[in-house]
Structure 1
Amino acid sequence: MPANKNALLRYKVLDDCFKRRGRYWPVEVLMEKVGEALREDGGPASVSKRTIQEDIKNLRLNYQAPIETESGRGYYYTDPGFSISNTPLTLDDLPVLHQSLAVLRQLQALGVSDELDEVVQRIEQRLTQPGAAPAPDVVHFEQVPAYTGLTWLRPLYQAIRQREVLWLTYQPFQASSARRELVHPHLLKEFNHRWFLLGLNAQNVHVTSTYALDRIVAIEPANAPYRPGELDPKAYFQHVIGASVPPNGEVVEIHLRFSPARSPYVLTKPLHPTQLLVAETSQSTEFTLQLIPTREFITLLLSFGADVEVLAPASLREYLRQQLDKACANYSVG
């Protein structure tokens, strides 16, 4: 387990003692020295012999501290130049570093995990014994599929950090040709394994524009003054599911009824922070959400199939009915 504050203080006191050349430290003396430091720090009034012995064991295991003992005299460092301050990380830190690195690898296209990967390997080589088996993975993240837009992730990230205006050559899926736009980049957002750039288009700086990275054809630096944005992601996306906010979209109360089979999943993993439970029976569970009905939200509703019914608003209910009728028509017999 990771050391707590008191344990780290005890380790430091023991290390300070053992660093003093030519001295041996009986466990009783170590108890006195450690207890004094703990009291000054507002900790417990004393420390037990067993605690000191466990601390020495942990220093040997996690810090590879060269601690030996001589009968009748006490403990000492066999290497007078050793100090745990020269090895600030321990074996207990490695699982944390590996799992943190696994998270960062999800953003590998940003280039932020490569250097850290090398650092972790160096630390691991220093802390582990030669030939030791690597620690097994205990967390498995969903693998991100190959995505065309990842090519642009790093340069866009750098442009935002450097406050650089860009010429974006952009071609929507339904467009016959690409268009070239002057863009002030402000934010990168991921949704459903796709990345989007949000910023101001020079032709309309009053509305935030959204660009899917997989539809970007080219990026060029633009020699133009950068216009910083006032985009607060938490506030901007508070009433949408997805990566874009319709310019004239209105927030409405959406009333949904879920089947008993689906209800536990929606209860334990809400569709949106605004989700509110309004009724629950053995037959169904009803929720309300305060949302702008975006395409991404409608796609999510359709993915539930027969397990969800839109009760309100009427316009959304009718639209879902039409989409489901079209889906059923794809499977008509004859």
Structure 2
Amino acid sequence: MDKLDRVMTLYRELNNRRYPVSRKQLEQKLECKGVTVKRAIGTLRDYFGVPVIYLRDQNGYVIDRAAGEHEIPGLWLNPEEIHALLVADSLLSNLEPGLVRAETGPFRQRLRNLMARIGGGEQHFDRIRLLSMGRRREQSRWFPRIAQAVLQRQRLRIGYHARSDDSASQREVSPQRLTHYRDNWYLDAWCHQREDLRTFSLDCIETAETLDRPALDMDNETLDRHYATAYGIFAGEPDKVAVLHFTAHRARWVANEIWHPQQTGYQLADGCYELRLPYRRHEELLGDILKYGADVEVMEPPSLREAVRRELERMTKKHEKSSHRISD
């Protein structure tokens, strides 16, 4: 029985008894010695504020009912569970610094105090870190409002600046899901202007107003079919399958990677690795292919192979020009 379980058992034992309980009885119930019983009583009294008193004439401990009702929290956690919650809080805070830090601050401090009380010592949770690659500097200040609209199923009117064509627009949307993808947040929503599902990058949302109208609800199957079947952040049902061959050296890593939930892959006779995955638009997939350089070859479809070839050709020309400028 760990320390927190012991305190919980002690509270239940005293709270359910109408008469004082002797130290001997508590030692048997808590499976410990008298000094440990006294320590558990001290924790129950000092940390949880339960007025435990000792009645010398009856040789037992009791909760002082005259001091009023003293109900301790109904959520009981052992040290391992507290550790897990603090680690989860650290990871969540690292997803977007400042996003939930203030809201979870009091709860986090109570967990740390509880760990200290039960002998957990100083915990170095800053030793857990997430390295962000590609997180945009400005995440939306409207995140809390947008998240609330998603959960409460309310419509939003948003001012959106599209980077693709540098245009600004006002949209009325029915939020469906918040998505955290490659260190950035996105809103999946039904756009009432376009009458279709759209994905909005939160850092491009310049204004957000909650409307007094219920959001249009869409079932999970429809949302998954639209958002989760093609490759990457681009939505829509896939209409092509990419076939990639990785060198035997690179296969040591790629064979254990998940690029897409519906991917298939297997080792080839020469030690290379074949990866097949569905996609609709090639822009994001193209970038992921190029980062492997000569360790990957696109086998199918021809359109994707040609897109890689053209991009490599443009890169080569650009770097040849750059080298001339540097040499000059």
Q: TM-score range by the shorter chain?
A: 0.7 to 0.9
Cα distance between partner residues in 1 of 2:81 and 2:41: 9
Match in the other structure for 2:31: 52
- Name stretches of at least 5 consecutive residues in structure 1 with no aligned partner: 35-50, 67-74
CA gap 1:139/1:167 in 2 versus in 1, 3 angstroms:
same
CA gap 1:285/1:91 in 2 versus in 1, 3 angstroms:
closer
CA gap 1:201/1:267 in 2 versus in 1, 3 angstroms:
same
Match in the other structure for 1:100: 88
Match in the other structure for 1:42: none
Matched, 1:147 2:137: yes
Match in the other structure for 2:68: none
SS of the aligned residue for 1:310 comes to strand
Matched, 1:260 2:248: yes
Compute the RMSD of aligned alpha carbons: 4.1
Matches within 5 A, 1:51-200: 52-53=31-32, 64=43, 86=72, 88-106=76-94, 112-129=100-117, 134-137=122-125, 139-143=128-132, 145=135, 147-200=137-190
Match in the other structure for 2:280: 292
Match in the other structure for 1:12: 9
Shift of 1:91: 3.9
Match in the other structure for 1:242: 232
- The one-letter code of the counterpart of 2:24 is W
Match in the other structure for 2:53: none
Matched, 1:321 2:309: yes
CA gap 1:14/1:62 in 2 versus in 1, 3 angstroms:
closer
SS of the aligned residue for 1:204 comes to coil
93-102 or 139-148: which moved more?
A: 139-148
Task: With the length of structure 2 as denominator, give the TM-score of the two structures.
Answer: 0.73
Match in the other structure for 1:220: 209
Shift of 1:120: 2.4
Cα distance between partner residues in 1 of 2:115 and 2:7: 21
On the 8 A contact 2:243/2:275 being kept in 1, the answer is yes
On the 8 A contact 2:10/2:40 being kept in 1, the answer is no
CA gap 1:59/1:284 in 2 versus in 1, 3 angstroms:
farther
Task: With the length of structure 1 as denominator, give the TM-score of the two structures.
Answer: 0.71
Matches within 5 A, 1:34-45: none
CA gap 1:165/1:23 in 2 versus in 1, 3 angstroms:
closer
User: Given the alignment, which residue of 292, 295, 298 partners 1:310?
Assistant: 298
Question: How many matched pairs?
Answer: 298
- Name stretches of at least 5 consecutive residues in structure 2 with no aligned partner: 46-58, 65-70
SS of the aligned residue for 1:219 comes to strand
CA gap 1:294/1:213 in 2 versus in 1, 3 angstroms:
farther
On the 8 A contact 2:132/2:183 being kept in 1, the answer is no
SS of the aligned residue for 1:330 comes to helix
CA gap 1:61/1:131 in 2 versus in 1, 3 angstroms:
closer
SS of the aligned residue for 2:150 comes to helix
